[in-house]
Amino acid sequence: MTDRQLLVGPFNRVEGDLEIRLDIRDGQVAAAYANSPLFRGFEMMLLGKDPRDALTLTPRICGICSVSQSAAAALALGAAGGHAMAPQGALAAAILHGVENLADHVTHFNLFFMPDFARPAYAGRAWHDRAVARFTAMEGSAARVTAEARARLMHISGLLGGKWPHTLAIQPGGVTKTPDARDRVRILATLRAFRRYLEEALFDAPVEAFAALETVDQLDAWEGGDAALFFRIARDLGLEKIGQGPRRYMSFGAYPLPDGPGFSRGLWQNGATGPVDPALIVEDLSHAWMLGDTAHPTQGATVPDEDMRDPAYSWCKAPRLGGAVVEVGALARQVVDGHPLALALAAEGSVRARIAGRLLEIARTQILLEGWAAALDPEARFMDPAPTLRDGQGAGLVEAARGSLGHWLRVEKGRIAGYQIIAPTTWNFSPRDAGGTPGPVEAALVGAKVGAGEETPLSVQHIVRSFDPCMVCTVH
C-alpha cells in the first residue's frame, strides 16, 4: 500500500530537465519512475543529410559533452568507411576529449553535487559550516575557484578545437588543427596550472597520491581538500549505504588510441570483468513514448508517440545489454579498467562509490593528459582525410564523462539512412523494460529515506545527482 506519491522536479543543477515520480511507503521510496521530459528528435533530423553533417549536428545535442558526441560521430563515420584517424590526430582528439571529461567531473562535484550539503536542513552537523562556505550554490568559494580553473583548462579546447562548446575540429581522419611547438608548450603549461588547482583545492596532495589509493580504508583516511570534506560528510550521512546501482558496470573503453584505449573496455559483473559485446544491445520501447519494436540500434528508429500512451512515462528508450540493466559512468570505467580502489567499491555501488570513482578518474585523467600532451609531435600529420562516404555502416563507441556513448550510423547513396544514439544517461535513467525491470536510477532510489514533511527529499537529491545525469543527451 502506497502512503503517498511525490513528484520531484524540476531538479535544477542537472543538465536539462528531469522529473521523478516516487511511491512512498513507510517513510521510504517503494518505487521510482524517471521521466525525461525533453525531446528534440536529432535522430529524425539527421536522416537524408550529408553524413559529414553529423559532425556538426550531433555535438549540439549537448552543450556540456559536445566533444564526446563529436568523437562518437567521427568514429562512426570512420568505421562506416573503414577509415582510421592519423595516430597523432587520435592523440589530439583524446586530449580534447579528456579535457572535456575532466572539466565535466570537476563541474559536477563543485557546482552540481556538493551544494546540496550546504542546505539549511543539515545545519548543526559538524561539517555544515565548512560546506556552506565552500559550496553554497553560486556563491561558495569552491564554485568560484572551480569556474576559473575550468575556464583556464579549456584554453586547451580553444587551442586544439577553435572553440568550446561545440568544437568542430574532430573528423573521421583526425583533427583539423595541427598544433605547433608553441601550442604544445601552452597545453603543457595549462595542464600544469590545472594540476595546481586540483592539488590545492580538491585533493590538497599530489594527484598521484589519490590515484594510488587501493582500499576503502585508505579512502576513509584521506585528509586533504574538498575530497576529504566529502568523505567526512559521506561517513556522517551513511552515503555508502544509499543509492545502490545494478552493480553491473559497462565501459566502451575511453580514448581510442593506436595502442589501445586510455581506460579499457569491458563489462564487470558478479565480481569479474569480461568482454562487452555491443551486438547484444537493444533498446526497449515498452515504457517510452516511442513507436516501434525492441531493436538493436542498427535496426532502431525514432518515432515519437504523439498520443503519449500508457504505460509509457518518458521520452527515454530503455537500453539493455543482453537483456540486463547496466550502469555506466566514471565508477564503471574505473572498475572495468581494474583500478584496485574502484574494484574495492564495485560491490558497494553507492552514492559514495560513484563520487569516489569520479574523483579517482579526475586524478588519473590529469596524469593521462600530461603524458599525451608530452607525446604530441608537431611534425607529424594530424589528419588522414577520409574519402567521401557513399555507402556503409558503422558504430562510434566512446566514453563521455557520464559513461558509454554510442552512435550507430548507416549511409546509403551518400546520405544518412539511419542514425541512432544511446547516451550515458539513456542507460542510467532508462525507464522500465517490457519485463518491468526498472532502470539503474529507478532501482537505486528504492529504499531511500523520505522524511514526513519532505517534498524534495534530500536522499533522493543525493542519489539522483550521484549519477551526474545529463538529460539533454538522454533523449536527444
Partner 1 sequence: MSQIETFYDVMRRQGITRRSFMKYCSLTASALGLGPAFVPKIAHAMETKPRTPVIWVHGLECTCCSESFIRSAHPLAKDVVLSMISLDYDDTLMAAAGHAAEEAMRDTIEKYKGNYILAVEGNPPLNEDGMFCISGGKPFVEKLKYAAKDAKAIISWGACASYGCVQAAKPNPTRATPVHKVITDKPIIKVPGCPPIAEVMTGVITYMLTFDRLPELDRQGRPAMFYGQRIHDKCYRRPHFDAGQFVEEWDDENARKGYCLYKMGCKGPTTYNACSTVRWNEGTSFPIQSGHGCIGCSEDGFWDQGSFYNRVTDLTQFGVEKNADQVGLAAAGVVGTGIAAHAAISALKSAQRKTQDTRSREEA
- Among positions 28-87, residues that touch partner 1 (CB under 8 A) are 37-42, 44-45, 49-50, 52-53, 55-57, 60-64, 66, 86
- Strands of the sheet with 403-412, listed across from one edge: 392-400, 403-412, 415-422
Q: Smaller CB distance to partner 1: residue 72 or 321?
A: 72
Which positions from 130 through 149 interact with partner 1, judged by CB under 8 A? 136-139, 143-144, 147-148
Nearer to partner 1 by Cβ, of 13 and 235: the residue is 13
Contacts of 292 (CB under 8 A, 6+ apart): 285, 300, 301, 303
CA distance 362 to 356: 10
Q: Cβ distance 285 to 294 under 8 Å? A: yes
Do residues 243 and 444 lie in contact, with contact meaning Cβ atoms separated by under 8 Å? yes
Question: Smallest gap, in angstroms, from Cβ of residue 60 to partner 1?
Answer: 5
Residue 442 annotated in ligand binding: no
Nearest to partner 1 of 44, 434 (CB atom)? 44
Number of residues that bind partner 1 (CB under 8 A): 83
Closest CB to partner 1 among residues 168, 324:
168
Nearest of 146, 148, 164, 193 to residue 96 by alpha carbon: 164
Interacting residues with partner 1 between 345 and 384 (CB under 8 A): 381-384
Among residues 98, 115, 406, 438, which is the contact residue for partner 1, using CB under 8 A? 115
Closest CB to partner 1 among 9 and 292? 9
Tell me the per-residue interface mask from 149 to 188 with partner 1, x by CB under 8 A, - otherwise.
-xxx-xx-xxxxxxxxxxxxx-x-xxxxxx----------
23 binds partner 1 (CB under 8 A): no
Distance CA 149, CA 309 (A): 47
Secondary structure of 234-273 as H, E, C letters: HHHHCCCCCCCCCCCEEECCECCCCCCCCECCEEEECCEE
Give least dist CB 456 to partner 1, A.
Answer: 4
**CB closer to partner 1, 27 vs 385:** 385
Instruction: Map the footprint of partner 1 across residues 410-429, applying CB under 8 A.
Output: none
Q: How many CA atoms lie within 13 A of 100 on its CB side?
A: 31
Residue 454 corresponds to which cell in the numbers above?
519532505
Q: Are 86 and 383 in contact (CB under 8 A)?
A: yes
Angle at 360 between CA 339 and CA 345, to 5 degrees: 55
Is 43 one of the annotated binding-site residues? Answer: yes
Q: Which one of 6-14, 192-200, 362-370, 431-439 is the stretch in contact with partner 1 (CB under 8 A)? A: 6-14
Give the residue with the Cβ less far from partner 1, 258 or 274. 258
* Least spacing, CB of residue 436 vs partner 1, in Å: 24
Nearest approach, Cβ of residue 39 and partner 1 (Å): 4
Could you tell me the smallest distance in angstroms from the CB atom of residue 348 to partner 1? 26
Question: Is 470 annotated to bind ligand?
Answer: yes
Is 316 annotated as a binding-site member? no
What cell was used for 22?
516516487
Question: Other C-beta atoms within 10 Å of 272: how many?
Answer: 8
Binding-site member from 2, 4, 5, 12 for partner 1 (CB under 8 A)? 12
3 state DSSP class of 67: helix
SS3 label, residue 34: strand
Which of 17, 16, 20, 18 lies closest to 7 in space, CA to CA? 20
Task: Assess contact for 249 and 327: CB atoms under 8 A.
Answer: yes
Helical H runs in 66-140? 66-80, 87-107, 128-135
Q: According to CB under 8 A, which residues from 429 to 468 bind partner 1?
A: 455-456, 461
Shorter beta-carbon distance to partner 1: residue 217 or 307? 307
Binding-site residues from annotation for Fe cation: 65, 473
Binding-site residues from annotation: 43, 62, 65, 421, 470, 473, 476
